[in-house]
Amino acid sequence: MVNWSRIDTVLLDMDGTLLDLRFDNYFWLEYLPLRYAAKTGMTVEAALKWLQAFSDSLHGTLNWYCLDYWSDALGMDVEALKLEVQDRVHFRPGALGFLQFLHDHNKRCILVTNAHPKALELKLVASGLGPYLHARYSSHSLQLAKENTGFWAKLQQAAGLDYQRSLFIDDSLNVLRCAAAEGLPHLLQVLQPDTTLPVRPRSEFAGIVHFEEIMPA
């Protein structure tokens, strides 16, 4: 599935690819509604409904990922709330072994994430991911989300990447489609971003559930 002799850089998404999306789903669909309900006097169900409608209105934009934007909108410190439950941040199964494999084979490891810089720092510390990375890019510093047209050209310039020799792994179909449209040839989809939810159906991209599927025995 991956011809490693032709790849020297691996571009890695964070949430749902290296880290279990269970944390994010728990935070946004369970913990935040609970806390927002307590703050506003809404029922938890009403808070969840309100938050989902607000979230839908931001989908696909950088603000959707922006902790400062959310904090202002809700009148709550969303970063502090995430810190309260940071012990729930975990690698997806096999992710650590895959990072070690990349290190042992001298592959350059670059994190490319839509996570807000504050969420990124929090998760690097909570997971222990930081030391495995040669570089990291938050889409906030490039002013475009990964699924926005122009992101990949901008990243190439900023990071000096050779996409012909780069493998990009992500769980988001919209992000992968944008990367494909901008000419990235080696794309791979993670099909089970949240380990507590069912495996997603295959798409037009090569897909994996476990990293072992792309590591030589």
Contacts with Mg ion by CB under 5 A lie at 13, 15-16, 171
Which residue has the CB atom at the shortest distance from Mg ion? 16
Identify which of residues 13 and 194 has a Cβ nearer to Mg ion in the complex. 13
Query: For residues 57 and 51, what is the distance between their CA atoms, to the nearest angstrom?
Result: 10
Query: For residues 173 and 189, what is the distance between their CA atoms, to the nearest angstrom?
Result: 8
CB 100 → Mg ion: shortest distance, Å? Answer: 21
CB 187 → Mg ion: shortest distance, Å? Answer: 13
Identify which of residues 147 and 171 has a Cβ nearer to Mg ion in the complex. 171
Identify which of residues 16 and 33 has a Cβ nearer to Mg ion in the complex. 16
Identify which of residues 51 and 169 has a Cβ nearer to Mg ion in the complex. 169
Query: For residues 119 and 108, what is the distance between their CA atoms, to the nearest angstrom?
Result: 23
CB 75 → Mg ion: shortest distance, Å? Answer: 28
Q: Following DSSP, what letter does each residue of 106-175 receive, concatenated? A: T-EEEEEE-S-HHHHHHHHHHHT-GGG-SEEEEHHHHTS-TTSTTHHHHHHHHHT--GGGEEEEES-HHH
CB 119 → Mg ion: shortest distance, Å? Answer: 12
